């Protein structure tokens, strides 16, 4: 076989192998559920053909190990609650009450640019020998603090503005839901839901009852 073709095939094969690698197992509500008995995080745990979220005990997880909930029914229920909430007037009121996050992002970005420019100036001044290294370090400290704070505030705001893009789109999302990939679905749920606490079920009851689920909304 031609050396070049052989190499191309090897590369293509490698690429396919790495892109086809299974992502770590994740469920729609991974990281978003807590045990109603011990408040520990619930973990996804398939058993035979059933997907479940469970409270895991032991040193790695530290839960009580005494709570299990069937995944598909719970996911359906919480998805419906999230989509309903996205269209609710309460959510719109809360978001509008906060004022425009776009304006705030604009102000913070300008601050950040100014701090960056100042840091640059200082470094030039030191480079040119206008200031000593000790002066440079002292002058730099408050600027870096400012940059750090502003960056953090921007990150918080960007999270909220993620929500504003989904707000009011509940019914459209409901129609498209099945076609969205898991990451997208997870991002939508996470934009609204901080977490949901799951109360213990009644013995012998398989279904997920509404009373078992206490959603704590982010907004």
Binding site for Zn ion (CB under 5 A): 35, 37-38, 40, 55, 63-64, 67
CB of 193 to Zn ion, least distance (A): 19
In the complex, least distance from residue 120 CB atom to Zn ion, rounded to whole angstroms? 52
For residue 39, the minimal CB distance to Zn ion (Å) is: 7
Least gap, CB of 45 to Zn ion (angstroms): 13
| Nearest CB to Zn ion, comparing residues 64 and 139 | 64
The contacts of residue 80 (CB under 8 Å, 6+ apart) are: 174
| Residue 30: both structure tokens together | 């991974």
- 63 vs 170 by CB, closer to Zn ion: 63
Between 37 and 52, name the residue whose CB sits nearer to Zn ion. Answer: 37
Would you say 64 or 105 has its CB closer to Zn ion?
64
Supply angle C-alpha 55, 61, 63, rounded to 5: 45
Question: Residue 64 in 3-state DSSP?
Answer: coil
Q: In sequence order, what are the beta bridge partners of 70?
A: 52
């Amino acid at each position: 076989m031609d050396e070049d073709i052989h190499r191309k095939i090897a590369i293509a094969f490698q690429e396919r192998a790495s892109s086809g690698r299974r992502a770590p197992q994740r469920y729609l509500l991974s990281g978003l559920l807590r045990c109603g008995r011990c408040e520990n995080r619930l973990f996804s745990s398939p058993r035979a053909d059933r997907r479940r979220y469970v409270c895991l005990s032991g040193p790695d997880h530290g839960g009580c190990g005494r709570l299990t909930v069937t995944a598909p029914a719970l996911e359906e229920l919480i998805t419906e609650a999230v989509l309903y909430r996205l269209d609710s007037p309460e959510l719109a009121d809360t978001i509008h009450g906060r004022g425009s996050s776009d304006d705030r992002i604009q102000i913070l970005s300008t601050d950040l640019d100014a701090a960056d420019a100042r840091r640059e100036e200082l470094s030039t001044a030191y480079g040119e020998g206008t200031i000593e290294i000790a002066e440079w370090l002292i002058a730099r400290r408050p600027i870096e603090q400012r940059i750090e704070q502003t960056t953090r505030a921007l990150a918080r705001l960007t999270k909220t503005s993620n929500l504003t893009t989904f707000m009011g789109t509940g019914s459209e999302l409901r129609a498209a839901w099945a076609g969205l990939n898991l990451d997208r679905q997870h991002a939508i749920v996470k934009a609204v839901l901080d977490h949901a606490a799951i109360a213990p079920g009644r013995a012998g009851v398989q279904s997920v009852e509404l009373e078992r689920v206490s959603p704590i909304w982010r907004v």
